[in-house]
Structure 1
Amino acid sequence: MKFILSILFFSCAPYLLHAQEATPVTCHFLCFQRDVANTSKLGAKAGDDKIISCPLPLELVSDGIELAAYNNEISFVKAQGDKEVVAKAKIPAGIKKALVMFIAAPSTKAPLLYDTFVLDFSNKGFPEDGSVAVNLYAGDVRYSIGEHRILLNAGKTAALARPKKLNEFSMAGVRFEFLQDSKWRMAIDTTVNFPLHQQQLFVAFLDPRSQRPQLRMFLL
């Protein structure tokens, strides 16, 4: 019996190792919307029952933290010793530097506290001096950013170069519209600063209080 079990173990070992294959990734974090408990940090599972503390800042992107994605996924728990996974981040293949955005999960997804949305945070994903537009709303949205005009379906993103048409203060117009009842409705019409050597992140989302699409902007 021991001999048979040994054969089974060694024959399955490559598959077990593959199942736990770790891919290194540098993660930056941004908490777009806190959960009801106002959780400000989580622990990323790092194998051998170890966790790595990860902050969930609300306004500024965190510094990079070296983590390992197992089968392209990072699991988060509340604290050392906890077994219950409260958030998961799926890291697309080939991404070595990621921006992980945390959004409060609905109660129907318990025990998950947060949903996540992962962006390629390399120079390829975020153009130098440019911006990235994200649509976390359930329907279509339209962005006008300087001379750029884009339509984004739900869950889609677009990387844009820095607007060429800027005023003397390096500002350009930004307009955000959402599709509702077959009509485009204005949500934001403003001007935004586009400084050199920095990037803008525009995120369309459904405000849980007003139940209307809104836009948040982050200067990175």
Structure 2
Amino acid sequence: MFSTKKSQGNLHKYIQRQSTDEFAVKAREHNYRARSAFKLIEINEKFKFLKPESTVIDIGCAPGSWLQVVVQKCPNGYASGVDLQNVLPIRGADILSLSDITDPAVKLKIREKLAHRQVDVVLSDMAPNPTGDNATDHLRLIELCRSVFRLFSVENEIELVKNGVYLCKIWDGSARAEFVRELSDRFSTVKTVKPTACRDNSAELYLFCRNFKK
């Protein structure tokens, strides 16, 4: 009974927060699937990397808000999304739902979808299911970001252009510096960004990487 009451209390707090949260309200007004759309919009305004003809792949794209932004910003490009969850269709985006990027069959599907296109931007806003231990969750998210990084830096499943961009979400913690060093070995520019749409009490950060050293 206690756990049920606690769950109901957490749900009530979440609903109350969403009803007053500035970016959640704006997301509903602009028909974005999640408030996270404004994180990508702000980062793009800062670095201007989403071009009208960009080829973009979004790994861990559910619920699809980043893909919605990509479709708007890249009307003459190609937008692809991959996620373990089922993602509702988005006009102008090519989505692989129920797909694990560590699965060789999924990697093959990604290559088939790209159809020899070179990729301008790789996005990753995904996160693991929380364990309740911040240190563990931080390490798990770093490993997810590293698995995406390997797709174009080691495995060549994605051919990232020389001036390409990799943008990934991390949670701050002990492994951040080491991962930034790994990225810096392959990118000319690696910057840490915290958009205003991130909640103040969140450890959430974004790593913006540009100019891939092949």
TM-score using structure 2 length: 0.28
Structure with more strand by fraction: 1
Whose relative contact order is higher, 1 or 2, with alpha carbons under 8 Å and at least 6 apart? 2
TM-score using structure 1 length: 0.27
Which one has a bigger Cα radius of gyration? Answer: 1
Structure with more helix by fraction: 2
